[in-house]
């Protein structure tokens, strides 16, 4: 990877702002920016008692199915634009998981929707975006 190549991570949750964040990255790449793209969906953990009752394989399958739903539209946008990407699924609190993936993948920028599908629908800035901003060690671009 050359020094001028940006490694974007786009946390997506199936919301319209997630699609807008993906389009923002597509536009940056179309304008000549060298880039690597990572799509990340973070699933909420299943409670321990439920997990034990239904088994790890069932829980993993559930997380994959739910993540695929959230990732479908951003994947389609990137594929339509001919931009390669890598998919990642995390489980836990997005405010912790997104920065952890940034470090693991050595991403240089986070691009995400300012609000997602969470319970904070009426707030100007969603709680996930606030937590990511608080813990991020790289530039964060929030897209409406």
Residue 90 near residue 97, CB atoms below 8 Å: yes
- Taking domain 6-143, whether its CATH number is 3.40.50.620 is answered by yes
What torsion, rounded to 10 degrees, do the Cα atoms 13, 17, 18, 21 define? -160
54, pLDDT greater than 80: no
d(C-alpha 10, C-alpha 132), whole Å: 12
Helices (H), 11-93: 16-30, 48-54, 56-80
Q: Extract the tokens encoding 26.
A: 């597509």
Show Cβ contacts of residue 3 under 8 Å, excluding neighbours closer than 6 positions: none
Averaged over 33-58, what is the pLDDT? 83
Model confidence over 69-116: pLDDT tens digits? Answer: 999 999 999 999 999 999 999 999 888 999 999 999 999 999 999 865
The pTM of the whole model exceeds 0.95: no
Model confidence over 6-39: pLDDT tens digits? Answer: 999 999 999 999 999 999 999 999 988 889 999 9
């Amino acid at each position: 990877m050359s020094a001028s190549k940006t490694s974007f991570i786009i946390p997506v949750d199936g919301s319209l702002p997630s699609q807008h964040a993906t389009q923002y990255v597509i536009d940056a790449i179309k304008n000549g920016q060298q880039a690597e793209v990572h799509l990340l969906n973070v699933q909420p953990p299943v409670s321990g008692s439920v997990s034990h009752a239904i088994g790890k394989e069932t829980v993993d399958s559930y997380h994959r199915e739910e993540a695929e739903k959230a990732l479908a539209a951003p994947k389609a946008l990137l594929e339509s634009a001919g931009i390669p990407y890598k998919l990642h699924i995390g489980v836990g609190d997005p405010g912790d998981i997104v920065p952890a993936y940034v470090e693991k993948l050595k991403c240089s920028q986070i691009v995400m929707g300012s609000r997602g599908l969470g319970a904070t629908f009426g707030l100007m800035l969603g709680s996930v975006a606030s937590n990511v901003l608080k813990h991020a060690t790289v530039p964060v671009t929030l897209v409406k």
